Structure 1
Amino acid sequence: MVQREKLIQNLTTDNNALRDELKQMKINSSRLTKEMEVLQSQYNTTAASRDNLQQEVNRLNATTCKVCLQGWIMFNNKCYYISEKGQNKNWEDSRRDCLQRGVDLVMPTTKEELAFVARIHDRTWIGLSDMKQEGTWLWVDGSGVRTAFWRSGEPNNHGDEDCVEIIKEHEKWNDARCSENLPWICED
């Protein structure tokens, strides 16, 4: 009988200990749930702040003006190097000059940019040619022509004309012999 009472006493003690442990676990669970709710709220606030900052970065990147190197000209948030008056090179040497500056020959793809480039020199090399395949006009970046601004009757390939210039008086493209010496414009 003593053993039975001892067993009941031990079981009662263990049961009470387990109840106390369960009670403590419920308290801890409640505390952890509250902490998790606080952390979730802080996370949501931080995520919203991050999203707002990213939107501000995107807005600033879209509106920030570029700064051109000294001696370069800004137009529509692009920088242009213009060869000096009287300084002329063939198309390849003109492109090489631009590449040495870390840029390439100008690629005027809009009427506004075309008008800007055209008013600088009487004739100017641009970064367009059909040297790789006759009749397939490609920009120096390898892209094809989407909008063309050819002078009437051009391109005519008169005398093996594979490079393109802009003629000031027409504000249009003209194919010319790549060996001609003309001023050039680089675009960044």
Structure 2
Amino acid sequence: QKDHQKLYDQTGTHQDSHREGRGGVTTIARRYRLAAVGLGLLCVTAITVLWIQFNHLTAERDQLQTSNTNLTAERDQLQTSNTNLTAERDQLQKERDQLTKVVCLYCVYSEKGWKYFRSSLYYITTEKKSWTESRQDCQKRKADLVIINSGEEQVRRLITWIGLNDSKTEGVWKWVDGSALTTGFWWTGEPNDYEGNEDCGVTGYKGATSGPSTWADFPCHHPVFGICERISK
């Protein structure tokens, strides 16, 4: 009986030790699991924080890029505006200088009998001469016989040479600058090249007092006053 009791005691002690061993392993495993779960939570938290920061930085980057694009567009617009304003300023200065020059020319030439009209100065010669001599007279004054572009430029009640002739080819009228006649203000029945000897143009024919049609062709050697034109450039 003592031996049986001893065996029982030994067996119980062994079982208790085995249970204690299993309990220790379970505790360690539980701790590992808790540590793994904690580490996993930390990783998830860290990843979440990093993702939030990444999205925040991405949003800031996009905002900065948008701001940079807007600033670049504003800069380009300002540069364009500055270029346009500079061009306008230069144009205004050019017009001012041109106007000043015209005023100065008018002041000088008005004292010599010249008249100003639409950016040109006009002078009626005081001696009747041939077409060629009248043109030479104008050229001495740094001008030329007038090129008429409108009815308002014509002289009425006084026959005067204009810078028009068909001396080279009959019927092909050209101005003194070589340009062809496109719009004429011929008197009724003119030009008629009377006796085949009329190759130079005059305005004011027959003392017309109304209407723009006052031109006629005259013999170039005929003595007539001339109209000089100086373009005020």
- Scaled to the shorter chain, the TM-score interval is 0.5 to 0.7
| 1:155 to partner: Cα distance | 0.6
| Residues in 2 aligned to 1:168 and 1:183: alpha-carbon distance in whole angstroms | 14
Identity across matched positions, percent: 37
TM-score by length of 2: 0.55
Unaligned stretches of 5+ in structure 1? 1-36
The structure whose residues are more often helix, as a share, is 2
1:131 and 2:167 correspond: yes
Q: Give deviations 1:115-143, integer Å, cap 9, x for gaps.
A: xx225xx2101100001111100000111
Q: Report the CA distance shift for 1:61/1:151 in structure 2 as closer, same or farther (over 3 A).
A: farther
TM-align CA RMSD = 3.2
Contact 1:105-1:185 within 8 A present in 2 as well: yes
SS in 1 for 2:201: strand
SS in 1 for 2:194: coil
Count residues in correspondence.
150
SS in 1 for 2:215: strand
Tell me which amino acid in the other structure corresponds to 1:152.
T
Q: Give deviations 1:86-108, integer Å, cap 9, x for gaps.
A: x1100000011111211110112
| Residues in 2 aligned to 1:164 and 1:151: alpha-carbon distance in whole angstroms | 11
1:147 and 2:189 correspond: no
Hey, what does 1:165 align to over in structure 2? 202
Tell me which amino acid in the other structure corresponds to 1:113.
E
Q: Report the CA distance shift for 1:45/1:149 in structure 2 as closer, same or farther (over 3 A).
A: closer
| Residues in 1 aligned to 2:229 and 2:172: alpha-carbon distance in whole angstroms | 22
The correspondence of residues 1-188 of structure 1 with structure 2, limited to 5 A, is 46-57=82-93, 60=96, 66=102, 67-68=105-106, 69=109, 70-71=111-112, 72-84=114-126, 87-114=127-154, 117-119=155-157, 122-159=158-195, 160-166=197-203, 167=205, 169-170=207-208, 172-188=214-230
Q: Report the CA distance shift for 1:59/1:103 in structure 2 as closer, same or farther (over 3 A).
A: closer
Unaligned stretches of 5+ in structure 2? 1-71
Higher relative contact order (Cα pairs below 8 Å, separated by 6+ residues): 1
Question: Which protein has the larger Cα radius of gyration, Structure 1 or Structure 2?
Answer: 2
Tell me which amino acid in the other structure corresponds to 1:73.
K
| 1:56 to partner: Cα distance | 2.4
